[in-house]
Structure 1
Amino acid sequence: MSEIPASALPAPARVGRYRWRVCAMLLAATTINYVDRQVLGVLAPFLQTEIGWNEIQYGYIVTAFQGAYALGLLCAGAIIDRFGTRIGYAIAIAVWSLAAMGHALAAGVVGFAVARFALGLGESGNFPAAIKTVAEWFPRRERAFAVGIFNSGSNIGAIIAPLLVPLVAAAWGWQAAFLFTGLLSALWLAIWLLWYRTPEQQPALSRAELELIRSDPAEPTTRIAWKQLLGHRQTWAFVAAKFMTDPIWWFFLFWLPKFLHAEYGLSLLQLGLPLIIIFVLADCGSIAGGWLAGRLLRAGWSVNRARKGAMLVCALAVVPIIFAAGADNLWLAVGLIGLATAGHQGWSANVFTLPSDMFPRRAVASVVGIGGFAGAVSGMLISTFTGFLLQSTGSYVPVFLMAGSAYLLALLVVHLIVPALAPTALGGDAGPPVA
């Protein structure tokens, strides 16, 4: 039998890349999310003078955001599941867009605290909505990459804010900075509502791409109660890691501009370059931390050794920040802080992988939610403590000492709770419950 010429064979269906447009929208939303939340941190040294709040009151304002963020994490998933990603995401970003612009109306501590609380409620919906959207639009083998792309928006936003906000505030006043970033959120919302549909409802999606998106076997959808997850030591290992280290990142976001202004006298426009360098280093650390764990796994290390080995390297990178408060040179301080932010993001990349190392896929999101709630609660406590500390002593030394030691202590606690990162079994199987 003669072979059929290749030119006579039907051309393979072109899969298409529409799903990556959806991912680009998620990246834009996450970037705006972090720009909106960091506007206050960038402007804080100058708002403190103009509005007249003290360190304790600023701590309360930051705590209001974190408290709302923690509460939002408890209910955002249910709201998004109830209304779907199109409307659920729209509700979240509408709330945070209005809240961001509402900062321009604040005239005192209470006004800023109310605006920050509303912003925290809205912004808590971003990651649950984005992760659910990825699950709707991507086959399982592409989801980690898609999540990695949109999650990079957190560092992009942290870089854009100190570049954009001082220019807008210097040209048109601090109120304009809040209005401008809130309008960016509103623009995204309008595009989302006009354009976004689920894959089955999107006419521009090719049949081949829809088949790719739906190519995985059906996943279990049985809801796993938090009570069941809290009975396992693996959950508490992740909670401990988040509780002990998340507040350090909140400190970096909300207090670094104040530190650089207080210690080195930087003006609003001078803050941009040091903050951009710090958060570019953080972005590099995020990539490097994930790469290191993968490299160790490819070298034959066990998941336990590779994950904890990478976490140890990242924890050690944070330790030198203890010298930052006493640095007599701005760029030495920027280098030490940038190394620490890189260490934190590398640490975070590995910590966020712990639930998937230890739990079945259907439980991962719930475990991440529990840990996120713990981290936000801890952030509230540390923000209030930092406000009182700076008001009474004016010294950042204790905060940097805490930051430098938190990661090594957290790694020790994680190792004591789960010495081998043993997987847990749910649904009646024998798992290693908390002793």
Structure 2
Amino acid sequence: MKIPNFRWFIIALVFLAAVLNYIDRQTLSVLAPTIQADLGLDESDYANIVNIFLVAYTISYLVSGRMVDRLGTRVGMAVFVAFWSVSNMLTAAAHGFRSLGIFRFALGLGEAGVWPAASKSVSEWFPAKERALAIGVYTMGSTIGAVVAPHVVIPLAGFAFATHLPFIADLLGQGAGWRMAFILTGAAGLVWLIPWLWLYRLPGKSRFTTDWELKLLADAEAAETKATGGALNEKPWGWGKILSSRVVWLLLLGRLITDPAWYFYQFWFPKFLHSERAVPQEGLTVTGWVYVAAGVGSLLGGWLSGLLVKRGVAPAASRLWVMLGCALLMPVSLLVVRATGLNATMALTAVTIVAALAWLINISSLVVDVVPKACLGAVFGVVAAGSTVGGIIMNTLVSSMLSKTVSVPSGFLNQAVDTLFGPVLRAVQGGGYNLWFALMAFLHLAAWLMLYFGRIHRNSAKAAA
């Protein structure tokens, strides 16, 4: 049976994987107070658990892409989804700091692998004019997963198993509710494997692909091969070439510099509203609009650069033009801290988040535009590792900005960052949120200038080394 535009069914599956990825990731965050009470964990323990996850995530980024390149997109994606789903389910067996840390480390190893696999699926199924939009669609899955997670896991954790399903309460013991939340959300990933393994093949080997769609992809590949002199079909790069590539380092630094803006809105913005805008705990549901804006930015950024490609602009150049517009919008963050009302604060915040996510979609698309397909997973993973490193640095910087006294950093990873960047942290200490918003206003413009004068849009994959 032939299905018209089957490539969009493929990206719908990747979108669902991203939703499940973020639901599983957010389960611990959403249920943290209950889990900490049941397992006897203090705030320092929780900080270390979070950092253990980030360390695993960074490690996985460096190796998972190469695994996907070797296993293929279909098998590679399935391996990582299965691994993280089982890891999430095993979290139900945690009984203290050590076991919880082990399971969250395993979760981080599995979850990072979905993103190189997702980017590779886009390179296999989408022409250049649709790639950024496809990446925007599956990236939007992560924002939806973050919104959905509390509405899924909190009711599960609060269900009276002892009353309605006593055998489960007896089996799982103390904290049956939150333990069951981990089991069921993890199991959803295993169910997802069924349609993925059934449907995903390379376009030429899929029985669902129409002749029209095959021609669309073949014509697009021929045009891209001609434009790059066949560079995108090169043999895979070795680690030496990847790690010495100027383009790879430009993209990695671009993610490291700019991704902290999005991390800030995920992890610190609710605290900003609570302390600076006097929004009560129950009123912080308004932060759901952060993820709505992120979804809009994901789709808008992909659509805009795709529109430029359709009008004849080279793919890499089209991404940079959209990214310039995003960079010029980011100074709106200077107005966020000066806004007096909640509505004005949220409106201005929405503008910066749309810009930040549209930027993220296009810098992710640049990787697909300039790197040989055979090693795309490995390069994407290395570039994405810059994102998590940037997030760790941002967390430490903002923590120092909000601290009025010298304090011992909590968590082993924060201590390591403090050792490396101690003088900088002391210099910004006590600067408050205003200092971070001022810095965040120009991160994207600095990164854009680096990418532009690094001539990344002038590089074919063959010239990337």
Q: Give the TM-score category using the shorter length.
A: 0.7 to 0.9
CA positional deviation for 1:34: 1.8
Stretches of structure 1 lacking an aligned partner (at least 5 in a row): 1-13
CA positional deviation for 1:221: 3.0
Would you say the 8 A contact 2:139–2:298 is kept in 1? no
- Residue in structure 1 matched with residue 256 of structure 2 by the alignment: 243
CA distance in 2, matches of 1:351, 1:88: 23
- Residue in structure 2 matched with residue 11 of structure 1 by the alignment: none
2:290 is the alignment partner of 1:278: yes
After TM superposition, list the pairs within 5 Å mapping 1:216-365 onto structure 2. 216-217=221-222, 220-225=233-238, 227-228=240-241, 231=244, 233-254=246-267, 264-266=279-281, 273-289=285-301, 306-307=321-322, 309-322=324-337, 337-355=349-367, 359=370, 362=373
Percent identity between matched residues is 32
- Residue in structure 2 matched with residue 378 of structure 1 by the alignment: 390
1:331 to 1:211, Cα distance in 2 relative to 1, 3 A: closer
CA distance in 2, matches of 1:15, 1:350: 29
- Residue in structure 2 matched with residue 406 of structure 1 by the alignment: 440
Which among 123, 127, 145 is matched to residue 111 of structure 2?
123
Q: Which residue type is aligned with residue 245 of structure 1?
A: T
CA distance in 1, matches of 2:218, 2:367: 25
CA distance in 2, matches of 1:31, 1:351: 21
Would you say the 8 A contact 2:293–2:353 is kept in 1? yes
After TM superposition, list the pairs within 5 Å mapping 1:31-42 onto structure 2. 31-42=19-30
CA-to-partner distance for each residue in 1:214-233, whole Å, 9 max, x for gaps? 45337513223454455565
CA distance in 2, matches of 1:51, 1:255: 25
After TM superposition, list the pairs within 5 Å mapping 1:56-205 onto structure 2. 56-139=44-127, 141-171=129-159, 173-205=177-209
CA positional deviation for 1:372: 0.9
CA positional deviation for 1:424: 2.9
Q: Which residue type is aligned with residue 280 of structure 1?
A: V
1:174 to 1:306, Cα distance in 2 relative to 1, 3 A: same
CA-to-partner distance for each residue in 1:73-95, whole Å, 9 max, x for gaps? 12212222322222221110011
Stretches of structure 2 lacking an aligned partner (at least 5 in a row): 161-176, 226-231, 408-428
Q: Secondary structure at the match of 2:453?
A: coil
Structure-1-length-normalised TM-score: 0.76
CA distance in 1, matches of 2:390, 2:130: 33
Q: How many residues align?
A: 411
Q: Which residue type is aligned with residue 47 of structure 2?
A: G
CA positional deviation for 1:251: 4.2
CA positional deviation for 1:20: 2.7
CA-to-partner distance for each residue in 1:145-177, whole Å, 9 max, x for gaps? 433332321222222223333333333533333
Q: Which residue type is aligned with residue 160 of structure 1?
A: V
Q: Secondary structure at the match of 2:459?
A: coil
CA distance in 2, matches of 1:117, 1:284: 31
Q: Which residue type is aligned with residue 238 of structure 1?
A: L
1:41 to 1:322, Cα distance in 2 relative to 1, 3 A: farther
1:333 to 1:107, Cα distance in 2 relative to 1, 3 A: farther
CA distance in 1, matches of 2:88, 2:302: 32
CA positional deviation for 1:426: 5.7
- Residue in structure 1 matched with residue 14 of structure 2 by the alignment: 26
Would you say the 8 A contact 2:135–2:302 is kept in 1? no
1:259 to 1:61, Cα distance in 2 relative to 1, 3 A: farther
Q: Which residue type is aligned with residue 29 of structure 1?
A: A
Would you say the 8 A contact 2:319–2:365 is kept in 1? no
Q: Secondary structure at the match of 2:233?
A: coil
CA-to-partner distance for each residue in 1:194-220, whole Å, 9 max, x for gaps? 444444554444555445544533751
Would you say the 8 A contact 1:289–1:314 is kept in 2? no
Structure-2-length-normalised TM-score: 0.72
1:191 to 1:425, Cα distance in 2 relative to 1, 3 A: closer
Would you say the 8 A contact 1:245–1:410 is kept in 2? yes
CA distance in 1, matches of 2:29, 2:68: 29
Root mean square deviation of aligned Cα: 4.2
CA-to-partner distance for each residue in 1:111-162, whole Å, 9 max, x for gaps? 3322221111111111222222333344555444433332321222222223
- Residue in structure 2 matched with residue 424 of structure 1 by the alignment: 459
CA positional deviation for 1:97: 0.5
